[in-house]
Structure 1
């Protein structure tokens, strides 16, 4: 995934939703200690900041230097660029050794990872017993029946430029391998379903589309999926550029611990 979101890093920061504070309280209640958390694929730190409210230190890592350049500072968050060339042992050393991480979070990113390697590393790093890993993603934005009918046509066109790895997210992580013991917050094959409400102007919706990897890949191939005609149709259905709509992001979470 290195470089996949570099070009639209600023748009990503502006368009993507923040995650509810209750989620971090819920996850923190399931860990036996609150010393160290690792936010993987942190991007601009959207999840790291919430995690930092419950843990003494958060190491927030990403392969994208472009995303990290927009990371939001916090006194308990340490942002680290981790290129794909980093070895497993180097990652363990970065975390201070094995069995030290109380919480691992991956917000809307784990589907881009080499899952076999990542899960092996996660099992080395998680505190045993008492450490947990939580991954989540959103795959749809519900606006309203009329708008959703029109936007679905755009989603279909985007799908032709979507990486195969993104299918895990499109399927709501229902098919995502997750070899961890359930802690009651979703499990392999049956993620916990959550929602994020967010108020958006139409411009915000357009930025959301433009922040997707599929949109950028299409544009690189000379295909502009947001033509003037498409934008006009979407804007009319939205209710105009000044209309504020409450949209709902559909979220799917899996959380677990290393089996005894």
Structure 2
């Protein structure tokens, strides 16, 4: 699936919605220190850029050099291209030393990871006992125009067969049953999922660009299937303009898992 993200890296960087500030405020409120964050699977840095306004330094890693090419460059973000699997020594060289990171984040990426290996790295690198891991995914967009929304939901369904089955399960499951071996952070009695709402005011071109940024759209294209075929585009365009409003609100539900390493967890 990494190859699909490579092929639409520029589209992805330009066409993805921004995660809400409330999400980051909530996560940051659970880390006593704000010195260093590690954003894993950063893509083109959508989460890293906001983290950089809260944490003194951010290390943002991804396996795709093409995605990183389009990431927003800020003085306190270090972007690193990493292999899919890293040894602990490679992790130390690339990210930071043992027990040195306040926060590990994974924005719409953890469902692609080798979780046992990833969790070993997280537990090694987070400060003990208050280092925090926060991982989230988001649901399908819902548009506030019934006819256009019905067509968009059908397009989501049509694209489903082209996404990795394991990732598809975790996304549909909203991270409810994904393995998450961490303790609740202070003030909470479970590790989630916790829901946040993300809204995006978009026009028709924004919507088509967003669809083309889907990895499963590209994966379908790689098999010779064009999901945005002429009939769909024409029908969707008519439905979009049905209410006379050129802009629509797309609503996404973010599902957050958050926990800490706790005493003696390493």
Normalised by the length of structure 1, the TM-score is 0.94
Measured in 1, the distance between the counterparts of 2:240 and 2:193 equals: 31
- Is it true that 1:76 corresponds to 2:79 in the alignment? no
**Cα pair 2:80 2:94 within 8 Å, conserved:** no
Work out the CA distance in 2 between the residues paired with 1:185 and 1:244: 38
Shift of 1:35: 1.2
Instruction: Give the Å deviation of 1:84.
Output: 2.4
Deviation at 1:242, TM superposition (A): 7.6
Residue equivalent to 1:35: 35
1:1-260 correspondence to structure 2 within 5 Å: 1-84=1-84, 86-144=86-144, 145-167=146-168, 168-183=170-185, 187=190, 190-239=192-241, 243-260=246-263
The CA distance in 1 between the partners of 2:188 and 2:233, in whole Å, is: 39
Of 162-171 and 51-60, deviating more is 162-171
The size of the alignment, in residue pairs, is 259
Any idea what the Cα deviations from partners look like across 1:106-134, whole Å, max 9, x if unmatched? 11111111111101110111100221010
Q: Whole-Å Cα distance in 2 between the matches of residues 186 and 137 of structure 1?
A: 21
How far off is 1:176 after superposition?
Answer: 1.3
SS in 1 for 2:259: strand
The offset of 1:85, in angstroms, is: 5.3
Alignment check: 8 A CA contact 2:105 2:135 kept? yes
Q: Which runs of 5+ in 1 are unaligned?
A: none
SS in 2 for 1:38: strand
Once the two structures are TM-superposed, the CA of residue 205 in structure 1 deviates from its matched residue by 1.1
Q: 1:34·1:54 contact (CA, 8 Å) conserved in 2? A: yes
- In the superposition, relative to structure 1, how do residues 101 and 71 fare at CA in structure 2: closer, same or farther (>3 Å)? same
User: CA shift at 1:157, angstroms?
Assistant: 1.0
Separation of aligned partners in 2, 1:174 and 1:208: 26
Alignment deviations for residues 190-246 of structure 1 (CA, whole Å, 9 cap, x no partner)? 411111111101111111111111111111111111111001111111117981111
Contact 2:39 2:61 in 1 (8 A): yes
Q: Could you tell me whether the CA contact under 8 Å between 2:126 and 2:132 is conserved in 1?
A: yes
- Shift, 1:187, TM fit: 4.5
Assess, with a 3 A threshold, how the Cα gap between structure 1 residues 85 and 181 changes in structure 2: closer, same or farther.
closer
Structure 1 residues 185 and 108, CA gap change in structure 2 (3 angstroms): farther
Instruction: Find the aligned partners of 1:216 and 1:124 in 2 and give their Cα distance.
Output: 35
Q: Detail structure 1 runs of 4+ shifted over 4 Å in the superposition.
A: 184-188
Mapped partners of 1:70, 1:186: distance in 2 = 39
Find the aligned partners of 1:216 and 1:113 in 2 and give their Cα distance. Answer: 20
Paired residues of 2:132 and 2:259 also in contact (CA < 8 A): yes
Shift of 1:26: 1.9
Q: For the residues of structure 1 that align with 2:98 and 2:154, how far apart are their CA atoms?
A: 47
Q: Distance in 1 between matches of 2:197 and 2:159?
A: 23
